[in-house]
Structure 1
Amino acid sequence: MQLAEIKVSYTNQNTQKKKVLHSKDIYEAIIPNWNSETIEYIEESKIILLNRASVILGVYELSKGGISGTVVDLRIILAVALKCNASNIVLIHNHPSGNLQPSEQDKIITKKLREASKLLDLLLLDHVIISKEGYYSFADNGIL
């Protein structure tokens, strides 16, 4: 029986090295990478991948959903983080309604991701909810 070969690859063509020190840095880094035309219509989730020094390696578009939700698959997040040799991750999603307060589901997924990340020696630095007007940081608000 012939087994299928699996290839794992990662490329980073980013020459600009941006260090994340605060949630404001995360918001300022991600907002130009968000579609300004759909931020108020479609919920999306992304992850920012960082090295041990909290320098951004890149951003990964995790999912796009509907008006009131999107899928956040922990296995995909962790697989991408490991493939990119990331040490730290930040989960980000938008609320099309503009309400920046986290839902109960947001809190549950954050807790699950934090626990799963620990098992792989990854650090979930923050979960940030964004809108055109601003952001909410789980870390800043003591939830993480």
Structure 2
Amino acid sequence: MKEEYLSPEIKTGIEPNLDFDDLTRLSEVEIRYKLKVQPKDRPKVTMAMEAYKLIRPFFDDCLHHHEEAWIMLLNRNLKVLGVARLSVGNQENTIIDPRTVLQLMLKTNATSSIIFHNHPSQNLAFSPEDLKVTRNIMDACRLLNMNCLDHVIVGEESYSSYSEGGY
């Protein structure tokens, strides 16, 4: 085999103009696959993060002025069926009624939902009332074989997730 027929990666270590019939004398080619970003270093994309990106524009007019609650309705494959406003409140609170959540889910044939609301103060911590209403909605959904997957507090640049918070 002539050197001119060898690829540049294999030529290493071969004397020029030398005929080769013994392939064991060819240089070993080493191929390495090294990730520049290790899986542990990659940002974890969560369902709450993706949902936040979709719902955030709905809060543009109220983010700092008053609280609003919205629901994202999802089918069995977690595809978005639609979003609906649950309530409009004041600077300090808004009402999220579990019956309204279930009504919207049943009317749209949604099997899952994610609840969103904002805090005008931009404090993304869940209040005791937020935690209570979330547990009530999740319990009510389970009775009807549906799921409330998360409750997300929407902020200007970030969010807080009930599911990710380990509540």
Verify same fold: TM over 0.5.
Answer: yes
TM-superposed CA distance for 1:78, in Å, is 0.3
* Deviation digits for residues 32-53 of structure 1 (CA, Å, limit 9, x no counterpart): 222x232111000010000011
Which residue matches 1:33?
A: 58
Take 1:59 and 1:31, find their aligned partners in 2: how far apart are those partners?
Answer: 12
Take 1:76 and 1:112, find their aligned partners in 2: how far apart are those partners?
Answer: 12
* More contact order relative to length (CA 8 Å, sep ≥ 6): 1
TM-score, normalization by structure 1: 0.82
TM-superposed CA distance for 1:125, in Å, is 0.5
Contact 1:40 1:131 (8 Å CA) reproduced: no
State yes or no: 1:83 paired with 2:83: no
Take 2:47 and 2:100, find their aligned partners in 1: how far apart are those partners?
Answer: 25
The runs of 5 or more residues in structure 1 that have no matched partner are 1-20
The runs of 5 or more residues in structure 2 that have no matched partner are 1-45
Instruction: Quote the sequence identity (%).
Output: 38
* Deviation digits for residues 43-101 of structure 1 (CA, Å, limit 9, x no counterpart): 00010000011111000100000000011111111001000000001010000000000
Contact 1:43 1:94 (8 Å CA) reproduced: yes
Computed over aligned residues only, the root mean square deviation of the Cα atoms, in angstroms, reads 1.3
Distance 1:83 1:37, change over 3 A: closer
Instruction: From the two aligned structures, give the one with the greater helix fraction.
Output: 2
Take 2:114 and 2:47, find their aligned partners in 1: how far apart are those partners?
Answer: 11
List, as ranges, runs of 4+ consecutive aligned residues in structure 1 with deviation greater than 3 Å.
none
TM-superposed CA distance for 1:22, in Å, is 1.3
TM-score, normalization by structure 2: 0.71
